[in-house]
Amino acid sequence: MRLREMSDLGAHRGPDATVFFTWQEATAEASASDTIKGEPIYAGLSYRHLDLGTEHFNPNILQRQGLYLLFDGAIYNAQELRAALSLDADVTDPQLILNAYQMWGDEFVNRLIGIWALVIWDSNTQRLFCSRDRFGSKPLCYLIQDQVFYFASEIKQLLPVLETKEVNAQMLWRMNKVSGMHLYQDQTPFRQIKILEPGQNLSIQRGKIQKEYYYRLNTEMFETSQLSFADAAEYYLELFRESVRLCATEPEEITCALSGGLDSTAILAILSKLKSQPISTFSTWFEDAQLDEREYIELANNSFNAQGTLLSPTAEEAWQSLLDATWYSDLPLGSGCSAQLSVFKAARKQGFKVLIGGQGSDELTAGYRHAQYRYLADLAHGRQFPQFIASLKSISKAKRPVELISIVAKSGLSLLFPESQLYRQEMKHLHFEPFSSDFLESSKDADMDALDMPETSRLSSFSYNMVYNTTLQTLLHFEDRMSAMAGMQSRSPFLDYRLVELAFSLPSSYKLDPPQGKRIHRAAIQDMVPKPILERKDKAIFGTPFTQRWMRNELKDRVYDIFTSSSFRRSGYWNLSKIMSRWQSYLNGNDKDAQMLYQVVATHIWLKTFNII
């Protein structure tokens, strides 16, 4: 039966229990069970439960007075909501959600702090209500076909009912050409399958579908704060501490990823004071200098009496992860995902089910290098020439002349062009075009218009897009899929909406102090993080040597086998001569096209995994 098949494809997300609710006809009562019969049904819901060890699971908690709930996530402020609703302390998150829905209607989601994808079927009013958390930590996708509404956590769960597996060529082209842009608005790589966007509700009643944002960052509040820098740093720290506390309230056995940088070390510092037992941390390292953070990881672990586990996946393990995890990911896999997956698997093996990470910090406080170009463009646009010159002088101390010229040129482009045009230029000039002319014809209308926000500063616009349209959504997607693959839940304290709103309300100068970003973050945590970590300027990326080393050495034959395979050459997707030319250049030591070559490999594996070619 299709409902059972769709449910089984998401079994890894909730391996501890299964509940089906099925209706034989529109007016019938639901039949609930942990198995499902092979008879035709009018409608059905399937829930897969992940036991986090915080509450006893009973299928009855998913239904209340004609309401039926599917829920993936965690409500961090459950204690406060129970008090507001006069509920007992042992009321579970699902029971709390149903009570809140009965009390406040759709507006109840505005009272939640946490991560969630949830669906409520109200049999009393014959209405379906769906909601996704404010910044998209938890996934929810859907398909409308033949007057039937299908929904699931993951794209693959909808494929059994998808009549035509039509690829969204524009989406596929965009995610290959722009680094970190695997998601865009409500689109997926399959044209008919959509995702509910962060901060959106969707409802269906009497055949009418309504979709609206219940939450979106208010651009009118950007950079309007009147707080002094000192007061802003104090308030930032207060909100950050509270967010970590809420993420870690339950369960006691919680762990964190540790990279050796500012964000994860600050999280560890706060966790170490919240928990009675030493915190366990999980980290990856590689022999490459830009990927070896062991010095700072050890310093952080020793400073907070943490028990660290160091991991270093091999090239073969990373290749196997690429093959296996592509199915779980639903999208072509990022080159750093094998490191991420190794962390989740090791943590799960040691008995942990919740891992706290630092996603979101760079987006909030201008931690990315490209934020600097927008900041300089804003200074020039505002005729703040003394600040502009001072910033360039600060940057020049750490840069070669050719690098400084590049920064000035990119800042000039940021001054002249809107965000969409900047990304189009990146697509055109930064990476070579690997696709065939036929594929490009089908993808030529791919738009980037959602990136343009003329009413904000260039830095705020850039950061807003980082949150909603580019890097953060991609990072959260992979983090969710890798954690689910390992049977875990990931949480990101930087994405408490109160902290996010504060960061966006602050002046740009509170975030950037060229050549460094994250000024407000550094100031807020300066008394809790070891000084060598606080002051370092050489933070390595979290990733693997996949593109810079492994494809040229240990994995060279595997990549060559793909490029010369019949499925690759006959697929019609690729510009074969250009790819082989760039491949030879890469083998000769040119790293310029390494990332795009990896994207080609990852996309081909995705096409094969989902039987598109």
Q: Is residue 475 part of a domain?
A: yes
Q: What is the identity of the amino acid at 475? A: L
Could you tell me which residues are beta bridge partners of residue 255?
A: 280, 355
568-588 mean pLDDT: 97
Considering the domain architecture, whether residues 209 and 224 belong to the same structural domain is answered as no
Instruction: Give CA separation, 403 vs 352, 400, 536, 590, in Å.
Output: 44, 5, 20, 19
Has residue 425 got a pLDDT over 90? Answer: no
Apex 31 CA angle, 28 and 34, nearest 5: 160
* Domain closes at, from 213, 240, 262: 213
Considering the domain architecture, whether residues 204 and 153 belong to the same structural domain is answered as yes
* pLDDT score for 540: 65
What band does 404 get if pLDDT is binned at 50, 70 and 90?
Answer: confident
What band does 131 get if pLDDT is binned at 50, 70 and 90?
Answer: very high
Q: Is residue 500 part of a domain?
A: yes
How many domains, in total, are found in the chain? Answer: 3
Considering the domain architecture, whether residues 15 and 156 belong to the same structural domain is answered as yes
**What is the C-alpha separation between 145 and 46, in angstroms, rounded?**
19
What band does 278 get if pLDDT is binned at 50, 70 and 90?
Answer: very high
- When the pLDDT of each residue in the chain is averaged and rounded to a whole number, the result is 93
Q: Is residue 433 part of a domain?
A: no
Considering the domain architecture, whether residues 150 and 242 belong to the same structural domain is answered as no
| Continuous segment of H or E residues that includes residue 118 | strand 114-122
Considering the domain architecture, whether residues 349 and 281 belong to the same structural domain is answered as yes
Considering the domain architecture, whether residues 287 and 339 belong to the same structural domain is answered as yes
* pLDDT score for 14: 94
Q: Is residue 453 part of a domain?
A: no
DSSP of 205-219? ETTEEEEEES----G
What band does 36 get if pLDDT is binned at 50, 70 and 90?
Answer: confident
Has residue 565 got a pLDDT over 80? Answer: yes
The CATH number of whichever domain residue 531 belongs to comes to 3.40.50.620
* pLDDT score for 426: 81
* pLDDT score for 358: 94
Considering the domain architecture, whether residues 357 and 256 belong to the same structural domain is answered as yes
332-340 mean pLDDT: 94
CB 49 within 8 A of CB 86: no
| Continuous segment of H or E residues that includes residue 438 | helix 437-443
Give the residue from 449, 470, 466, 372 showing the smallest Cα distance to 412: 372
Considering the domain architecture, whether residues 183 and 238 belong to the same structural domain is answered as no
The CATH number of whichever domain residue 106 belongs to comes to 3.60.20.10
* pLDDT score for 180: 77
CB 106 within 8 A of CB 203: yes
CB 210 within 8 A of CB 477: no
* pLDDT score for 290: 87
Q: What is the identity of the amino acid at 385? A: F
Apex 16 CA angle, 10 and 17, nearest 5: 80
Has residue 539 got a pLDDT over 80? Answer: no
Considering the domain architecture, whether residues 208 and 238 belong to the same structural domain is answered as no
CB 469 within 8 A of CB 174: no
* pLDDT score for 130: 98
Residues of the chain with pLDDT > 70, as a percent, come to: 99
* Domain closes at, from 535, 563, 582: 535
Residues ≥6 apart with Cβ < 8 Å to 363: 463, 466, 467, 471, 472
Considering the domain architecture, whether residues 228 and 209 belong to the same structural domain is answered as no
**What is the C-alpha separation between 404 and 408, in angstroms, rounded?**
6
The tens digit of pLDDT for each residue in 93-104 reads 999 999 999 999
Q: Is residue 442 part of a domain?
A: no
Q: What is the 3-state secondary structure (H, E, C) of 470-532?
A: CHHHHHHHHHHHHHHHCCCEEECHHHCHHHHHHHHHCCHHHCCECCECCHHHHHHHCCCCCHH
Q: Is residue 421 part of a domain?
A: no
- Coil/strand/helix, residue 49: strand
The tens digit of pLDDT for each residue in 359-397 reads 999 999 999 989 999 999 999 999 999 999 999 888 877
Considering the domain architecture, whether residues 15 and 149 belong to the same structural domain is answered as yes
Instruction: Give CA separation, 320 vs 324, 333, 341, in Å.
Output: 6, 12, 11
Q: What is the torsional sign of CA 255, 332, 325, 74? A: positive
Considering the domain architecture, whether residues 10 and 43 belong to the same structural domain is answered as yes
| Continuous segment of H or E residues that includes residue 48 | strand 43-49
* pLDDT score for 159: 97
Q: Is residue 163 part of a domain?
A: yes
| Backbone φ/ψ region at 385: left (φ over 0), alpha (ψ -120 to 50), beta | alpha
Residue 305: domain span: 219-364+469-535
* Domain closes at, from 198, 213, 228: 213
The tens digit of pLDDT for each residue in 455-508 reads 899 999 999 999 999 999 999 999 999 999 999 999 999 999 999 999 999 999
Q: Is residue 454 part of a domain?
A: no
Give the residue from 265, 290, 243, 268 showing the smallest Cα distance to 134: 243
